[in-house]
Structure 1
C-alpha cells in the first residue's frame, strides 16, 4: 500500500488524462492499482486501518494495490475540480455527506444506484443517511461514518447545584439561570452564526427548514408556527440574557474557548471540539469536568444534524466495478466501523451503536445516544448557497436578536430560501 504525501492542490490544471488508478488509458486491461482519496491528514490509526482494508480487498483481488492519498479538507474543492478537468483523479473518494448532491450535479460522481441496491450491507445502513447520498433520485454515495453535536456542560457545577443535564428547553433555562447566579458566568451559549445548533431547536419542536413537494420543488418552512416558535426561542436566549451579547454574530468557536476556561456553563459542539479545548485551556483541570449529554429539545432529546462523510465512485474511474467492490470493503459494517473508530466518529449502522463500547464508554455514550436522534438538511446542491453563502437562517436569528419582528423576518427569509433552493443548478 502506498501513502503519498499530498500537498495543496496545484494551481494549474493538469493536462494528462485521468488515469483511474493505474488502468490502461483506453479503458482496456486489468487494473494494477486503485486510488482512494481520503479527506484530512494521515495519522497512524488511519494508516493501520487502510493496511487492513487493503488486505481484505486483496483476498479477492490479489494483484490490485490500494493507493491511499490524503487530501486536506481546505484543498478538496480545488483537487476535485482539477480531477474533473482532466488531472489526477481517484477511483473511490470520500465526500462530505452534505456535498454529495453538489458534486453529483457537476458530474464528479458515478451513478451507483444499481450496485447499492444489490449490496446486502446497504439494508443495515441508516436509511435517512443513505437517502442523503442521493441526488435527483439517483444514488451517488453511501454513508461511511457520522458525527453529531452534543451539549457540553460543567459536570462539577451541575452536581453542586443538584441538577441533572438538561433534557428539555425548560430544564435548559433552569440550569442556565442557576449557573449564572451561582458562578457569575453565562449559563448557556447560543451563538447566532450556528445553523447546526439552530436547526436542532427547529427539529425538536416539530419544525422543518425546507421540504420538497410532489413536483420536486423546494418549499421553505420557516413560516411554519413550529419553526417560528423554535427560532424565536433560540433568539430569546440572547434577548433574555441566558446567552451573552458577545456571541451575537459569532459561531461556536468563541464559546469553545470560553468553555475550556470556565467562562460559560453549557454549549453545543461536536466531539472534535475536545481536542481544540485542550489547546485553549489555561488550566487543564477544567477539562476533566467537561462532560457531554444529548442536546435538549422542546420535550426531550433534540435531533442533531448527522454530519460525516460518504464514499463515492469517481466518475472518471476506468474500473467502476472494481472501484465499487473496494467501496464495499471500506464501507460495510467491518470497514465502516473500523474507520469510524480509527477517526473518532461513529459507524453509519444504527444496530452497532447499541454495543457496550459505545453505550458504556463515558466519553462516547452521549454522542452514541445522540446518533440515534438525527436529521438532515435539504438534499440539494443549492443548500450550500442558501446556508454557507447567504446565511439565511443565521441571518434571520441575528435580525431577531437585533429587534426584528420574528414573523416578518422569517417570512422574508422563507421567500429567499425558497427562491435559492429552486434556482437552476449550474
Structure 2
C-alpha cells in the first residue's frame, strides 16, 4: 500500500535506467552490475547520485543500475520478473504488497540479515510486520508515511484554541468549538477507511483476523464497532459527504477554501493546498492523530515501501548488500532529510525534527499498522466492502448488521483472492 502525496518527492522519468543516462557515475566501471528497481517519485536524482557514488567507491567491483518503474501495473510486472530468468537484484515494493510476492515462493528470506545486521527488532511495525511472512522477513523496511491532522492556525486562534489536542476527548471538544455557521471544525469524508482502520486498531480491533492461516473479516467485533462509532462521532462534526471518499471531491480542494479547520491527510498535501490558495502559505500546522490517552498517539495506517530480493536474481548476494546500505542508519537519515519521509526506526526520527509535518508523522508512525497480511488483501481493496459499510452506518444503518455483512464479503475475497 502506498501513500504517495509526500513532501519533497520528485517525479522521475518512468522506466529509465538512470545509470545509462548520465545521472549516476561509474557506468561500466564495475565487474558486476546490480540492478535495482525503484518506484517513480520515491527518491530524487540527487539522492541516487550521492548513494551511487558512495557505494561504488566502497565497492569498486560493482556498478549500480537503477531502473525507475511506474506504480500503475507494477504488481503483474514484479510477478513476471520473479517468475522469469532475468529478475532484478533488488525491488522496491509497497509495504503491503510483500505478502503477495512472498506467496510466489520466489523471494529471498532476509531474516538473518534483518536481525544480525539491521536491528530489525527496532523497525516501525507498520513496515516490518507486512514484510514478515510465516516467521521469515522477506521485506526490509525502507521508508514510511502516514496521515496526521493538518489544521488552519488562524481558525484555531480565532476559536481561542492555543494548543493541539492530545487525546480523542480533547479533539472532539476542540472540533466542536471550531464549528460555526460559516466554517467546519473538520472535513472528513464518509469513506476514508484508512482513518477508520486507525480508530479500530486503537480499540483493539482488526479489519480481518488470521485464524490459522485463513483470514476472516472482523469489522463486526465489539472493538471494531467501537472504532466505527468514534468515526461517526467525528465525521458528524463537519460537512463531509457520507457516500464518498477523500478524493470525491479532493479533500485538499475543500480545505483550501479556508473555511475548514482540520483535515486528516499526509503532510505533503500542504503543497496542493497552498498551490490552490496561496493565502494559506505559512498558516498551516500539523499534529499527530490523537489517541485515547495523552501518553500515546492514535494508531495510523502506515504506507511506504519495503525492499525485496528475488531468490533467482543473478547478483542476489550483492543485492542484499545494497539493501543493507539503503536500510541502514546512514542512508536512512539521508533519505528522510532529502525526501521528508519517516525513517524505518523511531530512533532515527531525529533526522526530521526540523520538519514540522514529517516530525508529526514520525510520532504517529510509532503506533503505525498495516492492512491484514494476506496475499489476497488487494482483492479486498479492488472492490472494497469497507466503504459501503461506512456509508450505511453513517446514514443510519444498524452498525452490527452492516458490519457483519461487510465482514462476510471481506472473508469471501480473502478466501478466493
TM interval, shorter chain, is: 0.7 to 0.9
Deviation at 1:191, TM superposition (A): 1.2
Matches within 5 A, 1:307-386: 307-353=303-349, 355=350, 357-386=351-380
* Partner residue, 2:388: 395
Deviation at 1:225, TM superposition (A): 1.7
Deviations 1:64-108 (A, max 9, x none): 110111112224235324434648642111101011111222355
Tell me how far apart the structure 2 counterparts of residues 198 and 359 of structure 1 sit (CA, whole Å).
28
Tell me how far apart the structure 1 counterparts of residues 191 and 136 of structure 2 sit (CA, whole Å).
32
Bigger drift between 400-409 and 295-304 goes to: 295-304
Tell me how far apart the structure 2 counterparts of residues 6 and 417 of structure 1 sit (CA, whole Å).
34
Deviation at 1:407, TM superposition (A): 0.9
Bigger drift between 171-180 and 140-149 goes to: 171-180
Tell me how far apart the structure 2 counterparts of residues 230 and 5 of structure 1 sit (CA, whole Å).
41
Tell me how far apart the structure 2 counterparts of residues 287 and 141 of structure 1 sit (CA, whole Å).
38
Deviations 1:269-313 (A, max 9, x none): 01221222233x2x3121321211111233442111121100111
**Closer/same/farther in 2, CA of residues 130 and 264 from structure 1, 3 Å limit:** same
Tell me how far apart the structure 2 counterparts of residues 234 and 122 of structure 1 sit (CA, whole Å).
33
Tell me how far apart the structure 2 counterparts of residues 42 and 295 of structure 1 sit (CA, whole Å).
25
Tell me how far apart the structure 2 counterparts of residues 226 and 113 of structure 1 sit (CA, whole Å).
33
| Alignment equivalent of 2:237, drawn from 242, 258, 263 | 242
* Partner residue, 1:65: 63
The answer to whether the 8 Å contact 2:336/2:343 transfers is yes
Alignment of 1:221 with 2:221, yes or no, is no
The answer to whether the 8 Å contact 2:176/2:237 transfers is yes
Deviation at 1:236, TM superposition (A): 4.1
* Partner residue, 2:253: 257
The answer to whether the 8 Å contact 2:209/2:216 transfers is yes
Unaligned segments of structure 2, at least 5 residues: 1-11, 17-26
Deviation at 1:123, TM superposition (A): 4.2
Q: What is the aligned-residue RMSD (CA, Å)?
A: 2.8
* Partner residue, 1:17: none
Matches within 5 A, 1:95-134: 95-107=93-105, 109-126=107-124, 129-134=127-132
Tell me how far apart the structure 2 counterparts of residues 331 and 199 of structure 1 sit (CA, whole Å).
27
Tell me how far apart the structure 2 counterparts of residues 154 and 109 of structure 1 sit (CA, whole Å).
46
Matches within 5 A, 1:145-164: 145-163=143-161, 164=163
The answer to whether the 8 Å contact 2:340/2:352 transfers is no
SS for the counterpart of 1:403 is coil
SS for the counterpart of 2:141 is strand
* Partner residue, 2:35: 35
* Partner residue, 1:27: none
Deviation at 1:268, TM superposition (A): 0.4
Bigger drift between 398-407 and 70-79 goes to: 70-79
Bigger drift between 267-276 and 106-115 goes to: 106-115
Bigger drift between 202-211 and 222-231 goes to: 202-211
Alignment of 1:171 with 2:170, yes or no, is yes
Tell me how far apart the structure 2 counterparts of residues 330 and 245 of structure 1 sit (CA, whole Å).
40
* Partner residue, 1:303: 299
The answer to whether the 8 Å contact 1:305/1:375 transfers is yes
The answer to whether the 8 Å contact 2:187/2:239 transfers is yes
